[in-house]
Amino acid sequence: MPIITYREALRQAIQEEMRQDPGVWILGQNIAAYGGTYAVTKGLFEEFGAERVRDTPIAEAGIIGMAIGSAMNGTRPIAEIMSINFTLVAIDQIINHAAKLHYMFGGQWSVPMVIRTASGYGQLSATHSQTFENFYAYIPGLKVVMPATPYDAKGMLKAAIRDNDPVMFIEHSNLYGIKGEVPEGDYVVPLGRSDVKRAGTDVTVVAYSSMLKPTLQVAEGLQGQGVSVEVVDLRSLRPLDLAPIVASVKKTNRLVVVEEGWRSYGVGAEVLASVQEQAFDWLDAPIQRVAGKEVPMPYAKNLEKLCVPSEADIEAAIRAVL
């Protein structure tokens, strides 16, 4: 299979879906002229033109509002928001409109739209380095996904575009350049499915998005020391697929949950609580959580590094639960 970047995998997904379905279109800031902030949409304007690749003003509520109205009238818009931090400006449109219209109209209307946005850090300081996936995963009516590999990114974006519900498709700014095998041609990765990325027998580690790679690296290092780590990639936060996690815990009897976001009220807390409910009798140790430090993100690179979970943090949690 070809080896391509996460960025290129996303572009292929959009391009292929736009070729297959004339109702798919994309809107956002600088997506036509510059390919967006992270160059994902580069070249799409030249192929599909101004009707289907639309630059917008810096007006996130307007971007989401236009996408909702268009989706209700039969198209499948992809709304690109430069950063998940900027979705706060459009949070009423996302939570009170996109997520609820299908229910409030008794199923007469659907809102088949995708909100593509990027989370994560990289010396962007306190108001631009946040990750709010737990905000949106809390909302019934939204689907929320955070793929960590190029293969999953392409397959899940295609699935999201074809889905009849609004999907928050959250990328990570530090993943765009990573490479991986991606099949040529059409394929989809179903939403709402966790995936065992590495088999093991001693401890289960659940991670997603930017935390998958360091978790896999720690697992590889511990293998040489006689510790077998099973790694489960959530991929989808709503719906949340607990079955592979519960099955893994029943095998390993130990669990560590790793996330970049803040520990309190986070995705890790939900996974922990759910596993306690479904697999308590199989746990031989308290579940460990690894998460970001609960402070606004500093700008200074050395301080920023201290705020984000490291491989050493992940290894320490694994050793503690063992």
Angle subtended by helix axes 243-252 and 267-279, to nearest 10: 60
Alpha-carbon gap, residue 40 to 31, rounded angstroms: 8
Neighbours of 185 (CB within 10 A): 6
Structure tokens at 322: 């063992």
> pLDDT grade, residue 185 (50/70/90)?
confident
Give the domains, in start order, of the chain with CATH numbers: 3-181 (3.40.50.970), 195-321 (3.40.50.920)
What pLDDT shows up at residue 143?
Answer: 98
What pLDDT shows up at residue 269?
Answer: 97
What pLDDT shows up at residue 11?
Answer: 97
What pTM was estimated for this model as a whole? 0.96
Alpha-carbon gap, residue 314 to 218, rounded angstroms: 7
What pLDDT shows up at residue 181?
Answer: 97
> pLDDT grade, residue 272 (50/70/90)?
very high
Neighbours of 57 (CB within 10 A): 8
**pLDDT above 90 covers what percent of the chain?**
98
Q: What is the pLDDT of residues 90-122, one digit of tens each?
A: 999 999 999 999 999 999 999 999 999 999 999
**Of the candidates 288, 292, 297, 296, which has an alpha carbon nearest to the alpha carbon of residue 319?**
288
**Of the candidates 186, 185, 204, 184, which has an alpha carbon nearest to the alpha carbon of residue 196?**
204
> pLDDT grade, residue 33 (50/70/90)?
confident
Active site positions, annotated: 60, 128
What pLDDT shows up at residue 231?
Answer: 98
> pLDDT grade, residue 237 (50/70/90)?
very high
Neighbours of 124 (CB within 10 A): 16
**Of the candidates 254, 258, 245, 263, which has an alpha carbon nearest to the alpha carbon of residue 208?**
258
Q: Are 116 and 203 in contact (CB under 8 A)?
A: no
Pairing type for strands 167-172 and 114-119 reads: parallel
Q: What is the pLDDT of residues 192-219, one digit of tens each?
A: 999 999 999 999 999 999 999 999 999 9
**Of the candidates 303, 170, 288, 156, which has an alpha carbon nearest to the alpha carbon of residue 229?**
288
Average of per-residue pLDDT across 128-137: 96
| pLDDT greater than 90 at residue 300 | yes
Beta strands per DSSP E along 39-156: 53-55, 76-81, 114-119, 143-145
